[in-house]
Chains A and B, each alone.
Chain A
Amino acid sequence: MLRMQMQQEKHMKKQKKYRVLGPMASVFESMKTGSWRLERPKVEFSQCSKCGTCERYCPANVITIHKEKEECVQFIWDYCKGCGICANVCPKDCISMVDERGEE
């Protein structure tokens, strides 16, 4: 038993000692997932009731509702993956998915 332990320690002692900063990652970074988008959500602002359902259900959390502005639904286009959940949950059906490269 002791011999086996010594055998292991022999190799362990040969190794250099390193200072490692934890097993934890510490750089908070985002991927630009907006480049995945094939379709983009387009909002009919005049019909929007500003209920915030799309904001609650967006998996990427990129929707913000501005109650006072005319363009009340704001997207962060760098990260919107274009999944279409917002268009699907909207109770007023005022969000439609349009081709990413079709318009503008």
Chain B
Amino acid sequence: MFDIKSEAKGLVSHGVSACAGCGLELIIRNVLEILGEDTLIVIPPGCSALFCGYGNETALKIGGFQGNLENTAAYAAGIKAGLEMQGNNHTTVLAFAGDGATLDIGIQSLSGMIERGDKVLYICYDNEAYMNTGIQGSSSTPQGASTTTTPGGKVTPRKDLMQIVIAHRIPYAATASPANLADLKRKVKKAKETDGPAVLHIHTPCPTGWAFHPSKTIKISKAAVDTGAWMLYEYDNGTLKVNYKPKSLKPVGEYFKLQGRFKNISQEEVSIIQENINSRFNELLLGS
């Protein structure tokens, strides 16, 4: 079906015009390695739109198209319903949206999809701002981070996607990070096998938007997990499980000082964020 013009080892082409050191590129390769060829993908406009191509060229060997920002989940649910009508119960439908297309613009269609119980795998790769259009702050931008729309640092804390989807009583939801690829792959496999909607929230370091050197992508995602700025946990049919439980979290300042976007953060703000992280982590440990 595809006119293959250049060779690739996996399902994703090697030469994609994502920035050097992009966390998203690493994530989509690992996700599609697990899901395999029997997958259809829906991508809203954003950084991930680089993968479904422009014009008639594509960087993926699976079927898919670029929808609109606000209805990725609705498109995916419609495709799944169509497949079921044809008697096809094996194809995975993957919605692959960024934080803006999930938490700001697309939250109503995501909420509807989970409520109806459509069997769609929804992945939110969270690079914590609108990177593709020039680093505008989104509702997933963490407190204190500088973007072009919050030049003095964002004053409010971020929305919590996991708590929103758990409130819908979703069958499976999890957070993941490129710091631990084995954990990420296990969660993708589990989400694929879930009978019903599944949401994965994946931390995606962005060298351009977060202002760090491209070679530090993995180091930064590891620092985020170690300091608790990104927590790894999953919600499986009503039970909460924390996947990474260090004896004590490292101070969050260690994660902040690696990035240019937290350059002007004040000490008081750091201590407020640290308190929020500690209380959230204890909450998770108690809930699991």
What is the interface of chain A, defined by CB distance below 8 A to chain B?
22-34, 36, 56-62, 64, 76, 78-79, 81-85, 87-89, 97
Contact = CB atoms under 8 A, between A and B. Distances in A.
B218 A30 contact: no
B215 A85 contact: yes
Interface of B: 1-6, 8-10, 12-18, 20-23, 25-26, 29, 52-61, 63-65, 178, 181, 207, 213-219
A89 B218 contact: yes
A59 B50 CA distance: 14
B21 A28 contact: no
A interface, over-half SS: loop
Contacts of A85: 21, 214-215, 217-218
A9 B17 CA distance: 42
Contacts of B9: 61, 64
Given A61-B9, A85-B21, A31 B16 contact: yes
Contacts of B61: 28
B215 A28 contact: no
Given A61-B12, A61-B29, A62-B14, A27 B2 contact: yes
A84 B121 CA distance: 32
12 contacts: A25-B52, A25-B54, A25-B65, A28-B13, A28-B58, A28-B59, A29-B13, A30-B14, A30-B59, A33-B14, A60-B14, A84-B214
B215 to A, nearest CB: 3
Contact of A83 (B5, B17, B215): B215
Given A59-B18, A88-B218, A29 B57 contact: yes
B248 to A, nearest CB: 25
B10 to A, nearest CB: 6
The 9 A-B pairs at the shortest CB distance, nearest first, are namely A84-B215, A30-B15, A83-B21, A25-B58, A83-B20, A79-B14, A81-B20, A83-B214, A31-B15
B40 to A, nearest CB: 10
